[in-house]
Structure 1
Amino acid sequence: MSVNDHSNITILKEIAELLNEETDLIPMLKGALSKFLRGTNFETGWIFFINEKGKNELIAHENLPEALEFNNCHHLQKGGCWCVSRYRKNELKKASNIIECQRIEAAIESKTGDNADITHHATVPLQSGDERFGILNVASPKTNKFSEEELELLESVAFQMGSAIKRINLTKQEQEIALVRERNRLARDLHDSVNQLLFSVTLTARAGIEMSEATEIKDTFKEIQQLTQSALTEMRALIWQLRPKGLESGLLEAIKAYAEMLNINLTVNVSGVIQFPSRVEETLFRITQEALNNIRKHAGVQEAIIYITVTPTDILLVIKDEGRGFVIDPEKSLPSIGLQSIQDRSAALGGSADWVSQIGKGTELLIRLPY
């Protein structure tokens, strides 16, 4: 065994240990890339995730030259490249030398910083079995071609990364399944205990009204009945949020059913094909739930309009009412937990949440999620 072979085995071992220990995807990939660069002749590297539609996202990079790092890695974020194109066509099967790179060329031509003599790069797909996740690119100064040995080492590291990505994705899926099961259990418990108890109190109050003759006692029972009925509505809404019935029949049906439960007359307008990944679908449903809850509690109206527009890159969700409206002080926190939740849920998927509201003229909520 040569000294170089021993060195490569050591690098692969250290990277394997890091990949096995980490549970957070992005720090894991950054750490593995950093170790790889420190132990080899490669000096810089970056990782793209590429989704099923071919959209690429720069998710990690290390030791980029000034020209590539300029303006939040502008030249890596924008434009085309041979490696991404080959990946999209499913033609990138193993580690390869790149003869030319449009992104690097654009960075050099822009003269926005030193390119540190980086002109070419090697590329390798990140995959595990039939599952593909993206590509790993690495480069060195004054190098336009890497040796077979270097490419084999790059392939080995990419294989390790692909396996680790799949492991973390499976772990997340298991956690999501466990969370759904726990939500279902809690929803059943609330329905079987608290919900039934409140229903019994409502019946008791109704009987008290019918049996009492004194006006004050009747009024007291009426108040108990109204309060209990409100609590029942809140409880049913909470159970819905824990376990959204009807979502298995589609997003629109679930939204309409939830609005009906809240006694809100809802108009839904759709443009584009409504077929989303489960996580996006649930996020849209949860956001709509929060918005409809806010309308029921604060707007003072029982009508709302929803617009869902699907473009090639985004999902736009607009929820409008003509209720009381509100004014937000920029220096203060949001006026409701619901609005904060909507903002957080949108941000979790890389989207945004904005609203326009005016006292006496209603509220318009605009959600934009990348798709």
Structure 2
Amino acid sequence: MSVNDHSNITILKEIAELLNEETEMIPMLNGALSKFLNGTKFETGWIFFINEKGKSELVAHENLPDALAFNHCQHLSKGGCWCVSRYRNNELRKASNIIECQRIEAAIEADIGDHAGITHHATVPLQSGDERFGILNVATPNTISFSDEELELLESVAFQLGSAIKRIYLTKQEQEIALVQERNRLARDLHDSVNQLLFSVTLTARAGIEMSEQQEIKETFKEIQQLTQSALTEMRALIWQLRPKGLESGLIEAIKAYAEMLNIKLTVNVSGVIQFPSRIEETLFRITQEALNNVRKHSGVQEAIIYITVTATDILLVIKDEGRGFVIDPELSIPSIGLQSIRDRAIAVGGTADWVTEIGKGTELLVRLPY
């Protein structure tokens, strides 16, 4: 066994140990990339995740020269390049030398920092079985081409990374399934116990109104009935939030059913095809739920309009009411937990959420989600 063979086995072993220990995607990718660069002649590297539509995202990088790191890696993050194009066309099957890289060339031409002799790179797909996740690129100063041995080592690391990425995705899916099961259990418990108790109280209060002859007692029972009815509506809304009934029939039908339960007259306008991943669909539904709850509780009106526009890369959701509106002070944080929840949900999937509102002129919620 040569010295290089022994060194390569050591690198692969160290990377395997790190991959087995890490449970979070980005720290895992950065850690593995760092170990690989420290143990080889490669000096810089970066990883793109590429989705089914071919959209690439720079998710990890290590030891980039100034020209590539400039302005949050703008030249690596944007524009076309040969390796991503080959990957999209399913032509990138193994570790390969890149003859030229448009992104590196653009960074050098822009003259926004030292490129440290990085002009070319090697690339390899990240995959596990038939599932593909993206590409790993590595480079060395003043190096145009890498040896077969270096490319074989790169391919071995890519194989390890692909398996680890698959494991983390599976773990996340299992966690999401467990969370859904727990939500369903809690929703059943609330429906079977608290919901039934509140319903019983409303019936008791109604009977008390009919049986009492004193007006003061009748008014007391009426107040109990109204308060309990409000609590019952809140409870049903909470159960919906835990377990969104109707999503199996489609997002729009679920939104309409939820609005009907809240006694909100809802107009829905859709542009484009409603067909996107389940996580995005549930995020849209949860955001719409919270927005409709805000309309019911705070707007002073019982009507709202929803616009959903689907493009090739984004979903735009607009929810408008003609209610009392509110004041947003830029010096203060978001004025309610409900609004913060909407923004948090949007950010969690890489989107944005903003409001346009004014006292007496209603509220308009603007949500943009990538998919």
Identical columns (%): 88
SS in 1 for 2:18: helix
Quote the offset at 1:328 in angstroms.
1.4
For 1:285, the equivalent position in structure 2 comes to 285
Q: Tell me, in whole angstroms, the C-alpha distance in 2 between the residues paired with 1:187 and 1:260.
A: 19
Q: Tell me, in whole angstroms, the C-alpha distance in 2 between the residues paired with 1:225 and 1:202.
A: 5
Render the CA deviation track for 1:317-356: whole Å, top value 9, x for unaligned: 0000000100012222222111000010011011110111
Q: Tell me, in whole angstroms, the C-alpha distance in 2 between the residues paired with 1:191 and 1:156.
A: 53
Q: Tell me, in whole angstroms, the C-alpha distance in 2 between the residues paired with 1:44 and 1:311.
A: 36
Q: Tell me, in whole angstroms, the C-alpha distance in 1 between the residues paired with 2:297 and 2:75.
A: 48
CA RMSD of the aligned region, Å? 0.5
For 1:245, the equivalent position in structure 2 comes to 245
Q: Tell me, in whole angstroms, the C-alpha distance in 2 between the residues paired with 1:214 and 1:93.
A: 85
For 2:11, the equivalent position in structure 1 comes to 11
For 2:254, the equivalent position in structure 1 comes to 254
Render the CA deviation track for 1:90-113: whole Å, top value 9, x for unaligned: 000000000111111111111111
Q: Tell me, in whole angstroms, the C-alpha distance in 2 between the residues paired with 1:159 and 1:128.
A: 7
Q: Tell me, in whole angstroms, the C-alpha distance in 1 between the residues paired with 2:145 and 2:333.
A: 55
Render the CA deviation track for 1:223-269: whole Å, top value 9, x for unaligned: 00000000000000000000000011110000000000000000000
For 2:227, the equivalent position in structure 1 comes to 227
Q: Tell me, in whole angstroms, the C-alpha distance in 1 between the residues paired with 2:86 and 2:331.
A: 49
SS in 2 for 1:45: strand
Q: Tell me, in whole angstroms, the C-alpha distance in 1 between the residues paired with 2:228 and 2:110.
A: 68
Aligned AA for 1:329? Answer: D
For 1:190, the equivalent position in structure 2 comes to 190
For 1:328, the equivalent position in structure 2 comes to 328
SS in 2 for 1:273: coil
Matches within 5 A, 1:1-371: 1-371=1-371
**Comparing 107-116 with 285-294, which one deviates more in the overlay?**
107-116
Quote the offset at 1:65 in angstroms.
0.8
SS in 2 for 1:221: helix
Aligned AA for 2:295? Answer: I
Aligned AA for 2:44? Answer: T
Aligned AA for 1:176? Answer: E
Q: TM-score, normalized by length of structure 1? A: 0.99
SS in 1 for 2:40: coil
**Comparing 37-46 with 109-118, which one deviates more in the overlay?**
109-118
SS in 2 for 1:6: helix
Q: Tell me, in whole angstroms, the C-alpha distance in 1 between the residues paired with 2:146 and 2:272.
A: 47
Runs of 5+ consecutive residues of structure 2 not aligned to the other structure = none
Q: Tell me, in whole angstroms, the C-alpha distance in 1 between the residues paired with 2:357 and 2:30.
A: 42
Runs of 4+ in 1 over 3 A off after TM superposition: none
Q: Tell me, in whole angstroms, the C-alpha distance in 2 between the residues paired with 1:115 and 1:219.
A: 80
Q: Tell me, in whole angstroms, the C-alpha distance in 2 between the residues paired with 1:71 and 1:204.
A: 66
Aligned AA for 1:71? Answer: N
Quote the offset at 1:314 in angstroms.
1.1
Aligned AA for 2:311? Answer: T
Quote the offset at 1:123 in angstroms.
0.2
Q: Tell me, in whole angstroms, the C-alpha distance in 1 between the residues paired with 2:358 and 2:69.
A: 43
SS in 1 for 2:355: strand
Number of corresponding residues: 371
Aligned AA for 1:363? Answer: T
Q: Tell me, in whole angstroms, the C-alpha distance in 2 between the residues paired with 1:367 and 1:111.
A: 37
Aligned AA for 2:112? Answer: T
SS in 2 for 1:245: coil
Aligned AA for 1:63? Answer: N
SS in 1 for 2:319: strand
Aligned AA for 2:65? Answer: P
